[in-house]
Structure 1
Amino acid sequence: MHADRTEKLVAAQKAYKDGLLYLAFDLYRLLADDGHVESQVFVAWMLSQGIGCQKDGSQAAAYYERAAAHGHPLGCFYFGRWLTRAGDHARAYRFYAMGAERRHLPSMFRVGYSLAHGKGVPVDVNRSYIVLKEAAVRGHAFALRELGLQDLRGKRGVAWQLIGVVEIIAAVCWGFMVSMVNDDSEFLIS
């Protein structure tokens, strides 16, 4: 990173910390437009929330897409979410898969969910189970809940239905405990 970029990043971080949100947004946007991927994600988030700027979902999606093009897992996930809301499930799935390749838990959940429900891809319960299980074992509450729902519906057979109830209860308890410590945890992002 150039010395100039480092100075801009330090200035942006300080402005944000000091509550100078409009200045922070402008500084982060300069960095993002200069190709700094982390700043692209941060600018997208600020735009999506209207923090330090006018709220603008389309611009937020454009910055998330730029970060996703560099393989940034948060860029992939949030651009995928934007595409999901727009109804473009096939394209969203491709971005979720890019994030999942980097072991991003919410992206892994979305891949498993998409495979289970045919969102942008053909239904594949076996692949869905593999991805959801890995995310659940790593602590993703919604992945564990989705496994429970699949088992409760008998997707892996009648014998698994009782286990589905246990998985759902465990997911609710785990989600509650995590939210008490950090309600922004990636374990709770779906």
Structure 2
Amino acid sequence: MMRRLYGLTFVAMIVALAPASAHAQSADLVLCDRLAADAADPDKPADIKGVADVAPADIETAIKFCKKAAGASRRAMYELGRAYAANRQMPEAIAAWRRAADKGSTSAMVELGVLYGTGAGVTRDEAQARKLFEHAAQAGNPRGVSNLAALGGGGGGAPADPARSRELLAKAAETNAEAQYQLGLMLAEGTGGEKDDGRARALFEKAAAQNHPGALERMGAFSQEGRGGPKDSAAAKAYYERAAALGDEDAKKALERLRCPYAIKDKRGNLVTNLCF
């Protein structure tokens, strides 16, 4: 299973900015970052924490200050798009992301790529999605790498290439939990190369340590089955519980199977009920 792609759309937009001093512009960017910075954006300075989503109470302020800072900062333009998206102003969000991408924002490229990959708000165009992800990946954006791999790794509209996907994911897996998870899946399934449960488990364990829901679920399954390492029922349950708490549906089902392990079937082999304890 591959992680779903995240993203939005595009249109043209012109942001009118009033003249401002360097000091005022810097203050605008500080406030924009505080309210709308993306924790995963490679453009983000290390001392800025970022937010998963722009808080509803902060949307209006974020739009105001990010709009002021956007003329001199591609990061602010990308963050302006995030603020518009949080306010469900998708044409404006798309326009901001397009302008940020034109200035070299790899995070904006990823957002636009997702739109094309999923057909959300634009005509679905996998070749265009791949092109955007490829540009972001070549610049070192981990989400660009993992999303390109999810499309199959072929460049410029080329057919899917699982071996190339492995290669791309391996680069991002050094630091990115999603890439670790996806590469682990390919190794566990033998997709694009040799099957290797040991390496897959090691990658799942790294991603699980970063609270990746899918990796936690996979660690539960590998621990339960003894794949790629020791069998440990207690550890399996703990991993499933952590994944389930983060919303992973497969982990929830696994916990239910642990609770109700005995299946009662009719003479045709159809499940009648489960015995629970």
2:207 corresponds to which residue?
135
- Cα distance, 1:12–1:115 mapped onto 2, change above 3 Å: closer
Question: Are 1:63 and 2:135 matched, yes or no?
Answer: no
Q: Which residue of 2 aligns with 1:99?
A: 172
Q: Which has the higher helix share?
A: 1
State whether residues 134 and 148 of structure 2, in contact with CA within 8 Å, keep that contact through their aligned partners in structure 1.
Answer: yes
Indicate whether 1:4 and 2:77 are aligned. Answer: no
- d(CA) in 2 for partners of 1:117 and 1:11? 40
The match for 2:110 is 41
Q: 1:49-73 CA deviation, whole Å, 9 max, x = no partner?
A: 4444333333222211111111101
Q: Which of 137, 143, 154 is the matching residue for 1:74?
A: 143
> Residue 174 in 1 paired to residue 242 in 2?
yes
Describe the superposition over 1:2-54 as per-residue Cα deviations: whole angstroms up to 9, x where unpaired. Answer: 96353771654454344331232133123213322121112112333444433
Alignment CA distance shift 1:89-1:166 (3 Å): farther
Provide the aligned C-alpha RMSD in A.
3.1
Out of 93, 96, 102, which is 1:24 matched to?
93
Compare 82-91 and 69-78 and name the one that shifted more.
82-91
1:159-186 per-residue CA deviation (whole Å, 9 max, x = no partner) reads x33x1x4444333321221129xxxxxx
- The list of structure 1 runs, each at least 4 consecutive aligned residues, that deviate by more than 6 angstroms after superposition, is none
Secondary structure of the residue aligned to 2:239 is helix
Q: Distance in 2 between matches of 1:54 and 1:156?
A: 42
Contact kept in structure 2, 1:65 and 1:75, CA below 8 Å: yes
Of 147-156 and 110-119, more deviation after overlay is shown by 147-156
Would the alpha carbon gap of residues 69 and 126 (structure 1) be closer, same or farther in structure 2, given more than 3 Å must change?
same
- Asked if structure 1 preserves the Cα contact closer than 8 Å seen for 2:184 and 2:199, the reply is yes
Q: 2:219 matched to which residue of 1?
A: 147
Whole-Å Cα distance in 2 between the matches of residues 106 and 3 of structure 1? Answer: 29
Q: Is the 8 A contact 1:109 1:131 kept in 2?
A: yes
Aligned to 1:115: 187
Q: Distance in 2 between matches of 1:58 and 1:177?
A: 36
Partner of residue 122 from structure 2, selected from 53, 62, 70? 53
Identity score, percent = 23
For the 8 Å contact 1:41–1:74, the answer to whether it is kept is yes
How many pairs were matched up?
175
User: TM-score if structure 2 supplies the norm length?
Assistant: 0.53
Q: CA–CA distance in 2 between the matches of 1:41 and 1:54?
A: 16
Give unpaired runs (5+ residues) of structure 1. Answer: 181-190
Change in Cα spacing, 1:175 to 1:20, as seen in structure 2 (3 Å) is: same
Give SS of 2:130's match: helix
Alpha-carbon deviation of 1:82? 0.8
Instruction: Single out whichever of 37-46 and 120-129 deviates more from structure 2.
Output: 120-129
Say if 1:145 and 1:15 are closer, same or farther in 2 by CA, change over 3 A: closer
Quick one: distance in 1 between partners of 2:71 and 2:206? 41
CA separation of 1:82 and 1:167: change in aligned 2, threshold 3 A: farther
Q: Distance in 2 between matches of 1:16 and 1:152?
A: 41
Cα distance in structure 2, aligned partners of 1:14 and 1:144: 31
Larger radius of gyration: 2
